Amino acid sequence: MTNRNSGLGRGLSSLISSAAVESGTASDNVNELSIALIEPNPLQPRTDIDEEKIAELSASIAKRGVLQPIIVRPKGEKYEIVAGERRWRASRMAGLESIPVHIRTFDDGETFEIALIENLQREDLNAIEAAYGYKNLISERQLTQSELADLLAKSRASITNALRLLDLPEEVQELVYEGSLSAGHARAILTVSDDPTRIKLAQKAIEEGLSVRALESLARLSGGGVIPSASKRPVSPKSYKAAARKLRKFIGGNVRVKQAKGKNKIEIEFNDETDLERIYQLITQDEKPLVRNAE
């Protein structure tokens, strides 16, 4: 790897420190800057902004303030966000007039690297956003896939698999982007060579709620654009898909609305007890601790 990437694989804080030293702006001074002077980064790899989560962060900032300064760079008479766009948006929503910032001098390539790594470390990008982020970073910084893998502390295979998602038809990419299909489903669809069959497989996976394994089996059997029946389960009504999509947006997590063994079900995934409590309070509007309510 060339010297341009030295030390960048250690993470976001290391990247910011290294770039700041090189640009002569390594000071840790925190400035208070008017929100009106700050603009979002057009190179931001995350394009799907969850307004509900921004509102939650805004409520926290209104109570406790901005605990961690955002990072900006001079841009004409204003400043452009390098890292911390969610905090900036939430601060605007909370009615703050100013926000603590670190002012740094980065070029476009460094700015994009930092924005991409920040989102990846927070697992804040969907598979399609990450793939386009990788593609843009490779192009902007003239990196090989191996160099990008080292930069992001990922395996070469994970970078290659992510970039392959961009070979899918736009219709299928959109389904992955919006969360209707997982990256695993998308990789199963990629085993089919022609786009029309890929689109049919994607639609069938959603309509019948196919698992990744079931979709892989179906893809192997798909020849000449003819897709055999994956199961005898009835196709769910379109209203189920619409309800699942709206519930996912409302809850901020994965939701399935389906028919199983003659029964209609709504399944809500959660990460841990804290996430369960968040979902419970969101649905019931009950602010009391969940365990106390259960006792």
Is the separation of the CB atoms in 75 and 39 below 8 Å? Answer: yes
Q: Which amino acid is at 101?
A: V
Which of 127, 123, 124 shows the shortest CA–CA distance to 173?
127
**Site of tokens 């980064």:** 41
Which SS3 state, helix, strand or coil, does residue 98 take?
Answer: strand
Is the separation of the CB atoms in 209 and 218 below 8 Å? Answer: no
The DSSP secondary-structure symbol of 95 reads T
The encoded tokens of residue 13 equal: 């804080």
d(CA 162, CA 128): 8
Is the separation of the CB atoms in 245 and 256 below 8 Å? Answer: no
Catalytic residue among 80, 85, 147, 208: 85
Q: b/e map of 254-287 (b: 16 or more CB within 10 Å)?
A: ebbbbeeeeeeeeeeeeeeeeeeebbbeeeeeee
Active site residue 170: no
Is the separation of the CB atoms in 99 and 72 below 8 Å? Answer: no
The 3-class secondary structure across 214-238, one letter per residue, is HHHHHHHHCECCECCCCCCCCCCCH
Distance linking the first and last C-alpha atoms of the chain: 59
What residues are annotated to the active site?
A: 85
